[in-house]
Copies of this chain bind each other. A is one copy, B any other.
Amino acid sequence: MAGNDSLEGLRERLAQFAAERAWEPFHTPKNLSMALIAEAAELVEHFQWLTPEQSAALPADKLEEVAMELADIQIYLIRIADRLGVDLIDSARRKIAINETRYPAERVRGDARRADEYDH
């Protein structure tokens, strides 16, 4: 990542956080992928009994709880990318370019079905 980027600052801070606690041996990509999905599930849990509409209109206290779940996911995502030497921003840009090819706007307008359904 570019040295002046905010993700880069978080990456360094999280690496130091783990180092100070001697947590690196636990922070294998396998283990971190488990921690990440556990945080993703806490996000899901907030929304499971809400209607889609309610999920877009959270009261302030719920929104702050959800923001902290998003933060947890971002933290583990940065951490696993760091352990693997992956550049998140570059990877996301490349994936978006792939998606722009896979889902031509004129073909999928208003239809969010999965890409593989178009390929069958």
| Contact surface of A with B, Cβ cutoff 8 Å | 1-2, 5-7, 10, 13-14, 17, 20-23, 25-26, 28-31, 33-38, 40-56, 58, 63, 66-68, 70-75, 77-78, 80-81, 83-86, 88-89, 91-96, 98-100, 103, 105, 108-110, 112-114
Contacts and interface: CB of A to CB of B under 8 A. Distances in A.
Given A5-B6, A38-B44, A56-B83, 14 more contacts: A6-B6, A14-B96, A29-B47, A30-B51, A33-B47, A35-B48, A37-B43, A67-B81, A70-B80, A70-B91, A71-B95, A74-B88, A74-B91, A74-B92
Number of identical protomers: 4
18 contacts: A13-B96, A21-B103, A21-B110, A26-B49, A28-B52, A28-B53, A29-B58, A29-B66, A31-B52, A33-B46, A37-B43, A43-B80, A56-B83, A58-B84, A70-B80, A71-B95, A73-B73, A74-B88
